[in-house]
Amino acid sequence: MQAPPEKLGSFYLGAEYDLDAGQRLDAPVNYDARDLTTHAVCVGMTGSGKTGLCIGLLEEAALDQVPTILIDPKGDITNLLLQFPELRPEDFKPWVNADDARRKGKTIDEYAAGVAEMWRNGIADWGQGPERIRRLQQSADFTIYTPGSDAGLPVSIMGSLAAPGLDFETHAEAIRE
């Protein structure tokens, strides 16, 4: 399949699917970004594709320079930062699951090579390639803040809840604010 041409404000989400025939059609599905509001919520059953849909929408929004702040308590959307334009095994190696590799009887290097090939083929199957991944990387500053953890940039709101170190008699008005 060939991806449709890039068009500002038109989010490419994939292709139509024929349920009766059980196959993907060559008709692209685009979403008019003007139909989005300032906030969004995505709900659905486990395994229904919420994360995939959200990542697709967020990638398209980033490509169109739409500023986004995400709150993701479960941590699924962090996968949005797995952007490897060259799709090399060594890019994927730090992120593959060693237990999955072991269960399949492969070394981590072999497993990472398989994951890289799967991604390369999957992206190409949708008519996309490394250049689009590069544009996504350059489209926004991606940062993950992690309250209570050093996995990303640590942040704490608890310090802001502390009482100010001011004398009440002298600064009563400021303290009340």
3-state helix, strand, coil in the chain (%, to 5): 45, 15, 40
Q: What is the pLDDT of residues 104-141, one digit of tens each?
A: 999 999 999 999 999 999 999 998 899 999 999 999 98
Beta-ladder partners of 32 = 10
* Secondary structure element (H or E) that encloses residue 117, with its range: helix 108-125
* Residue 42 burial by Cβ neighbours in a 10 Å radius (0-12, 13-18, 19+): exposed
Beta-ladder partners of 10 = 32
- Rounded to an integer, what distance in angstroms lies between the CA atom of residue 55 and that of residue 40? 13
pTM of the model: 0.75
Using pLDDT thresholds of 50, 70 and 90, give the confidence band for residue 72.
confident
Query: In angstroms, what is the C-alpha Rg of the chain?
Result: 22
Question: How do the domains of the chain map onto residue ranges?
Answer: 82-142
Q: Reduce the DSSP state of residue 63 to 3 states and report it.
A: helix
CA 49 to chain centre: 13
